[in-house]
Amino acid sequence: MDDQGGDSVSVWRVGGAARLAGYAIPAAVGVKALFGWAGWVSSPGAETARLAGLWSGLAVGVALFFWWAILRVRLAVGPDGIVAVNPWGTHHLALDEVASVRLDAWGAEFHHGDGFKTTAYALSELAAGTSQDRRFAELQAVLEAAPDSSSQ
C-alpha cells in the first residue's frame, strides 16, 4: 500500500511472482533481441537481421502484453473515490456508490447499490499466487476509515 500526493491515496498493485514475471520475462526476451542485434553487427547478413528483427518484435509484444495484463493493473482508494484499473478498462466509483465489498478469485468486488458490481483485478488470487486476505484486510480498513463510508 502506498500513499501518493497531498491527500492520502492507498494504492494496491499486482504483487509477488506475477509482478516479478511482468518485469523478468520481457527483460529476458529483450536481452535475447539485443544479442541478436549484436550477432548481426559482428556478422551482417539477411538471416541474422531477420532473426534479430523477429526477437525485437517479440520483445515489444511481450513487454506490451505484460504491461497491459499485470503491470498497469491497480486499485486506488482516496478521498475522490475508488479507481480500479483492469486490463479491459478503468472504473471510477464514488465511495458512497459502494454498498459492500468482498474478495473472490478475480479480485475485490465492489457491489453497487443498484446491483451492479466492479471487480478490481489488482487484488485477485492471481496477483501474487498467494492468499490475498492481508491485502483485502488493508482495503477494508481504508474503506472503513473513509469519510463517506457510512454504508460499509
pLDDT tens per residue across span 42-68: 999 999 999 999 999 999 999 999 999
- Contacts with 120 (C-beta within 8 Å, 6 or more apart), sequence order: 12, 75, 82, 84, 86, 91, 107, 108, 109, 110
- 8 Å CB contact between 33 and 58: yes
- Segment 14-25 mean pLDDT: 86
Q: CA distances (Å), 22 to each of 1, 34, 128, in order?
A: 19, 19, 11
Assigned C-alpha cell, 125: 488470487
The pTM is what?
0.74
| CA 45 – CA 43 distance, rounded (Å) | 6
